[in-house]
């Protein structure tokens, strides 16, 4: 079996069964901080918010080496290194670390759990200070822009005025785009991966299946469930549907084929228990242990609501953008297909942004950015390296040699 296939079979780091996994970063810690509140796009005012975040590497004296990594739907602040309690690696340990694509020996990596999440940041499972009870469904609708506004609060708190790069895949890519568009003076480079300009009906549709699975679970109880009676079944089904959309036909064929997981047991409904069924059930069960059902509702809705331009003409919305972009898509990603990335690239370019676009042949589907992927790693690493060198040139020389931006 080739190395490429072995990598493919390994999958991502979030829920796979890991044998002995060592991280170059060792054990890393996640902190939480209470920050001044924000007013959401929907008009709700938080008096204060809590964000979980992780920092890796050292902030340079000039503060010019900050890389903000934004997580996708099921991620959290723990981006790399081993969790001190569970021993599990962060979701992007393959790509973040010393000497890796996002090199922690050069860059100061910052990662937060999103607003609305369940990894330590304020979300539906947090206690509403006004009522003393969990928000549940009284939590205000959140958007990708709200998530970014919360991150801005954290950067202000850390007194970081500018980020060298903001990087993220899928929902993380949406956050990266919002950063570049809404805070043009604070972002030098932007790497949106496997993402889009706005969610399409197909993407919304898959999320709606997941949400329905949760809210029709009797234990959901209008969002007021307890730790012992959670809508676990609904959330597991939601994750199973989601997971199918993150893979590709090729990945599934290679990974499972039509193999049966085990011999039939008398209690089985049907004699065949396929390996792919077993895998999805495992993914569902594993996810339920680490994710809050209400958060899943709120975050998927934030994704569905996402529209970078929000109805304004591209030139008006993107005219102030200063960042240089590396947009990456994957040929096998049918959830966020390359055509959507090209639409994003075209819109950015026609608004005069400087954009590099790379479409990789990785065959793992949407999850291609979460697995071991040397081509992906190289591209991100080289881009950050070249841009970091460009940034460090004296200003006069920069405009002379590179002619500034077009």
Partner 1 sequence: MPYAQIYDQVAAWIPPTSRVLDLGTGDGAFLERLVKTNRVVGEGVELDAEHVTRCIERGLAVHQGDVMSGLDQYGNGAFDYILLLGTFQELKPSEQLVREALRVGRRLVVSFSNFGHIRVRWQLLVGGRTPVTDALPSPWFRTPNIHFFTILDFRDFCREMRLRHVASAYFNRRGFVRWFPNLRADIALCLLEAAPRV
Check if 170 is active-site: yes
SS (H, E, C) 287-318: HHHHCCHHHHHHHHHHHHHCECCCCCCHHHHH
What is the maximum span of the chain, computed from C-alpha positions, in angstroms?
77
Q: How far is the CB of 166 from partner 1 (least distance, A)?
A: 18
CB nearer partner 1, residue 58 or residue 405: 405
**Torsion over CA of 150, 156, 161 and 165, rounded to 10 degrees?**
-30
Task: Give the C-alpha separation, 16 to 279, whole Å.
Answer: 10
CB nearer partner 1, residue 127 or residue 339: 339
Q: How far is the CB of 396 from partner 1 (least distance, A)?
A: 12
CB nearer partner 1, residue 83 or residue 359: 359
Binding site for partner 1 (CB under 8 A): 324, 326, 342, 345-346, 349-350, 352, 354-361, 375, 378-379, 382-383, 385-387, 389-390, 400-406
Task: Give the C-alpha separation, 215 to 86, whole Å.
Answer: 30
CB nearer partner 1, residue 51 or residue 193: 193
Task: Give the C-alpha separation, 159 to 33, whole Å.
Answer: 14
Check if 312 is active-site: no
Annotated active-site residue in 125, 170, 332, 368: 170
Q: How far is the CB of 190 from partner 1 (least distance, A)?
A: 13
Task: Give the C-alpha separation, 189 to 347, whole Å.
Answer: 17
Token pair of 106 as six digits: 């050069």
Q: How far is the CB of 315 from partner 1 (least distance, A)?
A: 9
Residues 6 or more apart in contact with residue 114 via CB below 8 angstroms? 70, 71, 121, 147, 150, 171, 175, 299
Residue 62, helix vs strand vs coil: coil
Check if 333 is active-site: yes
CB nearer partner 1, residue 228 or residue 406: 406
Look at strands 48-56 and 31-36 and give their pairing. Answer: antiparallel
Q: How far is the CB of 244 from partner 1 (least distance, A)?
A: 26
- Which residues, in sequence order, are bridge partners of residue 325? 190, 355
Q: How far is the CB of 343 from partner 1 (least distance, A)?
A: 10
Residue 231, helix vs strand vs coil: coil
CB nearer partner 1, residue 133 or residue 382: 382
Query: What does DSSP assign to residue 57?
Result: S
- Closest CA relative to residue 21, chosen from 69, 88, 80, 71: 88
CB nearer partner 1, residue 6 or residue 405: 405
| Residues 76/83, Cβ–Cβ less than 8 Å | no
Vertex 333 angle, CA 373 and 80, to 5°: 40
Q: How far is the CB of 379 from partner 1 (least distance, A)?
A: 5
Annotated active-site residue in 12, 217, 304, 333: 333
Token pair of 179 as six digits: 């950063």
Q: 4-9: long-range contacts (C-beta < 8 A, 24 or more apart)?
A: 5/254, 7/371, 7/372, 7/373, 8/251, 8/254, 8/255, 8/363, 8/364, 8/371, 9/254, 9/255
- By annotation, the residues acting in catalysis are 170, 333, 366
């Amino acid at each position: 079996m080739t190395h490429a296939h072995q990598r493919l079979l390994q999958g991502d780091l979030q829920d796979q069964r890991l044998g002995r996994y060592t991280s170059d970063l060792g054990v890393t810690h996640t902190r939480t901080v209470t920050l001044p509140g924000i007013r959401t796009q929907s008009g709700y005012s938080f008096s204060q918010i809590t964000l979980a975040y992780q920092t890796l590497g050292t902030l340079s004296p000039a503060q010019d080496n900050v890389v903000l990594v934004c997580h996708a739907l099921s991620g959290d602040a723990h981006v790399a290194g081993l969790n001190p309690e569970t021993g599990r690696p962060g979701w992007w340990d393959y790509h973040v670390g010393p000497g890796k694509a996002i090199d922690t020996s050069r860059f100061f990596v910052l990662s937060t759990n999103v607003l609305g999440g369940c990894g330590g940041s304020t979300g539906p499972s947090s206690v509403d200070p006004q009522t003393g009870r969990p928000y549940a469904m009284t939590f205000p609708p959140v958007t990708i822009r709200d998530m970014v506004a919360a991150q801005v609060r954290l950067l202000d708190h850390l007194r970081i005025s500018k980020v060298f790069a903001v990087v993220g895949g899928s929902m993380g890519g949406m956050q990266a785009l919002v950063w570049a568009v809404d805070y043009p003076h604070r972002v030098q480079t932007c790497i949106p991966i496997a993402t889009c300009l706005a969610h399409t009906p197909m993407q919304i549709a898959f999320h709606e299946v997941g949400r329905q699975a949760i809210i029709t679970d009797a234990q959901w109880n209008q969002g007021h469930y307890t730790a012992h009676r959670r809508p676990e079944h609904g959330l597991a089904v939601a994750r199973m549907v989601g997971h199918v959309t993150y893979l590709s036909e090729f990945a599934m064929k290679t990974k499972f084929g039509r193999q049966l997981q085990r011999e039939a047991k008398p209690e089985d409904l049907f004699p065949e228990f396929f390996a792919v069924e077993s895998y999805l059930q495992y993914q569902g069960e594993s996810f339920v242990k680490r994710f809050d059902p209400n958060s899943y509702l709120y975050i998927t809705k934030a994704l569905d609501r996402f529209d970078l331009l929000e109805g304004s003409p591209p030139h008006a919305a993107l005219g102030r953008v200063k960042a240089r972009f590396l947009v990456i898509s994957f040929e096998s990603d049918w959830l966020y297909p390359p055509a959507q990335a090209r639409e994003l690239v075209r819109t950015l370019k026609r608004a005069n942004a400087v954009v590099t676009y790379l479409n990789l042949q990785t065959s793992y589907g949407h999850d291609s950015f979460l697995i071991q992927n040397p081509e992906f790693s190289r591209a991100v690493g080289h881009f950050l390296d070249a841009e970091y060198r460009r940034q460090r040139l004296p200003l006069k020389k920069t405009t002379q040699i590179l002619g500034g931006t077009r």
